[in-house]
Amino acid sequence: MSSVSKADRKAALDVASWFFNVVTSVGIIMVNKALMATYGFSFATTLTGLHFATTTLLTVLLRWLGYIQDSYLPLPDLLKFVLFANFSIVGMNVSLMWNSVGFYQIAKLSMIPVSCFLEVVFDKVRYSRDTKLSIVLVLLGVAVCTVTDVSVNVKGFLAAVIAVWSTALQQYYVHFLQRKHSLGSFDLLGHTARVQAASLLLTGPFVDYWLTEKKVYAYDYTVISVFFIILSCTIAVGTNLSQFICIGRFTAVSFQVLGHMKTILVLILGFIFFGKEGLNLHVILGMIIAVAGMIWYGNASSKPGGKERRIYSAPSNKSHKQDELSDSTETDEKV
């Protein structure tokens, strides 16, 4: 009975983690869309810096309350993570500016095969045929939903390559650092948020001026626009935390595959709030294909052999711990 209750508790926590991530991610997309499209606050990099500054305040509060314990993250690992994360943020913004929407969506979809490649190379993960096919089905469905016009240029392609690889590496590192240094989601966020906040707030205004030719301090701040900025920062705390929780409990690949449910929800909410222009037969078909692929992926990856991770070589006194770590990682794929 204890094993059953433990499994039930884990399943409930898994569902709660995904729900938390989906709600906060979709919420921040809708709020930022209103902030940028309606109120003209186009300073995405600086806004992300404010997000991490707010997250840093939360981590300070959690540390004071005792939810974050003293832990150690080597400076080289911290700097690599922050480098990948900041290149991801800037790269995505530049890619969206320099590419067509269609090619930008293709670049985002390519994060899944890149994340798979990183797991195969660094973690020696092997995927079953059904798991691979389910990933292809998700990619196909989301592509049908989102990819329209596709035009490519050299600088846009380079920006997309940098954005895709830095994002995939950042998400891989979330899972890797938690396992390597035995860090919880709160602990890792406590190490990284403050460094990201400082670096993005220092460089963000210059990057945004380069992208938009507008100065953030010259923006006409109003009560309603400040309200949306504060709301965006508040929701971002949940988005940042839920990303670390989900990738820590699962992997970057699962986070990417199942995370496309957010894309489907954004399309549906866009239809509800902004009219029927974006909804047609091929979009509905794409949604159905993508959701079917996500369900298939959840079932395929949770079966024995669906997604296997080879055990790392480790000193003999830690071998048992490493076995438990690998077993728990494989079990976490049961979504």
| Overall average pLDDT of the 66-81 stretch | 88
Is there a domain that residue 212 lies in?
yes
Instruction: Provide the mean pLDDT of the chain.
Output: 82
Does pLDDT of 160 surpass 70?
yes
Half-sphere exposure of 329 (CA within 13 A, CB side): 27
Q: For residue 50, what pLDDT band results from cuts at 50, 70 and 90? A: very high
pLDDT per position as a tens digit, 228-263? 999 999 999 999 988 888 888 877 787 888 777 777
Domain that holds residue 267: 14-309
Tokens 């037969």 label which residue? 281
Does pLDDT of 319 surpass 70?
no
| Overall average pLDDT of the 156-170 stretch | 91
Which residue type does 155 have?
A: K
Is there a domain that residue 316 lies in?
no
| Distances 81 to 38, 46, 55, 84, 171 between C-alpha atoms, Å | 33, 19, 17, 5, 9
Tokens 């921040």 label which residue? 28
Q: For residue 309, what pLDDT band results from cuts at 50, 70 and 90? A: low
With H, G, I as helix, E, B as strand and everything else as coil, classify residue 174. helix
Is there a domain that residue 318 lies in?
no
Tokens 């994340």 label which residue? 115
Is there a domain that residue 50 lies in?
yes
Is there a domain that residue 209 lies in?
yes
Is there a domain that residue 326 lies in?
no
State how many domains the chain has. 1
Q: Is the pTM of this model over 0.85?
A: no
Is there a domain that residue 239 lies in?
yes
Q: Which residues contact 95 (CB under 8 A, 6 or more apart)?
A: 104, 107, 156, 159, 160, 162, 163
Is there a domain that residue 327 lies in?
no
pLDDT per position as a tens digit, 270-282? 677 655 555 677 7
